[in-house]
Structure 1
Amino acid sequence: MSEQKNISFDITIYDSIDELAQDDQSLMLEAVAVRKNAYAPYSKFRVGAAVKMANSEIVIGSNQENACYPSGLCAERVAIFHAGAKFPGISVKTIAITAASDNYEVSVPAAPCGNCRQAIFEYEFKQKQPIRLLLMAEKGSVIECRAIEDILPLGFNSTFLA
């Protein structure tokens, strides 16, 4: 007997960064600032990520490309891995992510790629608490997702390895 289920989630869309709470605005501005440090000579697509920890520390990351494409690393993974290395055992609360291009104006917030979703999901699963996402393009609207699990339904975790 088969069963059909619907998997859905809610997002909040803010018209601009100005509508965010002050802490979230500050976090997104950290992501915007570090986006400028991205090493993106091939794609010209710059991404910045700022991670807010439970201890209120902020950890940043930007994408780092490589001529051998698989050797590069996205901003989200740079930031989350840096957070895990610098503050082991401290929960991640929120990740602000912003994207821009040297070639055109990015007008729609870019969500994390599949590899980044899985990497963030690992931390969310490990800490047993949601990791909130704030997504923004160069300017304009900001999308808030309640948890990475929302945008990675049926995610792979350590229970499959037991």
Structure 2
Amino acid sequence: MDNRALIDHAIAARQAAYAPYSRYAVGAAVLTAGGRTFTGCNVENASYPAGICAERTAIFKAVSEGERRIVALALAAAPQEEQPPFGSYPAPCGICLQVLSEFAAPELRVLLAKSREDYQLCTMRDLFPKRFTAADLKKEIR
């Protein structure tokens, strides 16, 4: 799937965000090694830690459907009232980067999108160069 198509999925997913507290709507789309696309949005809660980010929603949906390898991530985020092009490039939080590191290689293609035409392309290694993985536990994951 090309970059713009994956970004389109993330922008569409952003429309379902439930962000009444931060008013910061986030949409994510992940592409798996199996060629499937999964989307997610952020879902907030009055008890803030009980919410979940868009990236983890999309990843957990993929994993729950049997996919174990993420090969690309697109992220679109901005205040809820904003429509593309957004004001700034979004970036995954630390928890989302750690979850991604479980299912993605350092070369993961990451698209941080203001719009389908205006995005930054980077890798997992760029965003999270010192990641903690099963190798640090001296464990092999099957």
TM over 0.5: yes
Q: Name 2:133's counterpart in structure 1.
A: 157
Q: Normalising by structure 1, report the TM-score.
A: 0.76
Q: What is the Cα deviation at residue 44 of structure 1?
A: 0.5
Q: Distance in 2 between matches of 1:23 and 1:137?
A: 16
- Structure 2 equivalent of residue 19 of structure 1: none
Q: Secondary structure of 1:41's partner? A: coil
Is the aligned partner of 1:116 residue 2:96? yes
Q: Which amino acid aligns with 1:23?
A: D
2:97 partner letter: R
- Aligned equivalent of 1:58: 37
Moved over 6 A (4+): none
Shift of 1:100: 1.9
Return the match for 2:107 from 122, 125, 130. Answer: 130
Q: Is the 8 A contact 2:78 2:90 kept in 1?
A: no
Q: Please list, as runs of the form range in 1=range in 2, the aligned pairs for 1:3-152 lying within 5 A after superposition.
A: 23-89=2-68, 91-102=69-80, 106-124=86-104, 128=105, 130-137=107-114, 141-145=118-122, 147-152=123-128
Judge conservation of contact 2:73–2:111 (CA < 8 Å) in 1. Answer: yes
Q: CA RMSD in A?
A: 2.0
Alignment coverage as a number of residue pairs: 136
The offset of 1:149, in angstroms, is: 2.4
CA–CA distance in 2 between the matches of 1:139 and 1:93?
A: 19
Q: CA deviation at 1:81?
A: 1.4
| Stretch deviating more after TM superposition (98-107 or 128-137) | 98-107
SS at structure 1 position matched to 2:38: strand
User: Are the aligned partners of 1:74 and 1:116 in contact in 2 as well (CA < 8 Å)?
Assistant: yes
1:12-40 CA distances to partner (integer Å, 9 max, x unpaired)? xxxxxxxxxx7221111111011000010
| Unaligned residue ranges in structure 2 (runs of 5+) | none
Question: Is contact 2:106-2:124 (8 Å) kept?
Answer: no
Partner amino acid, structure 2, of 1:100 = A
TM-score norm. by structure 2 comes to 0.85
Q: Give the match's secondary structure for 1:56.
A: coil
